[in-house]
Amino acid sequence: YSWLRSLMGRYQDFWSVTQEALAYTLNTLGRAPDAAFLSEMADAYNRLLPYPDAAQCLKDLAPLKLAILSNGAPGMLHRLVANAGITELLDEVISVDSKAVFEPHPRAYEMVEEALGVKPEHVLI
C-alpha cells in the first residue's frame, strides 16, 4: 500500500495505511474488520521489541550520530522507541511523514541530511 500511494501521489500516514491493509486482509479471509480488532492489531506495532542486543549495539556505535528513518507516523515511532527503551540512544527519530512519501522514494532519504547535517556518502543504512 505504501508503494502504491507513493506512486499515485496519494500519501496517507503509515498508521492509516496499516489499518487499510489489515482491513483488506480480513475481508479477503472472509472476516468483517471491526474497529476494535483493527485497533488492537495496529497497536501491536507500538509494542514491538528490539532484538536483545540492539541497545548495546547502539551504545557501542556512539559517538556516531544515530537515527531511525522510517515510514512510520511520528507518534507511532515515538511510542515504539519509548516502549523499546532506546530513546536516549538516538539523536533523531525521523518519519517520512513531513515529506509525504514513503521509502524508497529519494525525498525520504533527503531527510537524514536535513535532520543530522550528514552528507549521503557518510550515511550507513
pLDDT digits (tens, 9 = 90+) for 1-34: 777 777 788 888 888 888 888 888 888 999 888 8
The predicted pLDDT at position 29 comes to 92
pTM of the model: 0.80
Residues of the chain with pLDDT under 50: none
Cα 36 from chain centroid?
A: 22
CATH match of 1-122 with 3.40.50.1000: yes
Residues 27/33, Cβ–Cβ less than 8 Å = yes
The predicted pLDDT at position 92 comes to 94
Domain ranges within the chain, ordered by starting residue: 1-122
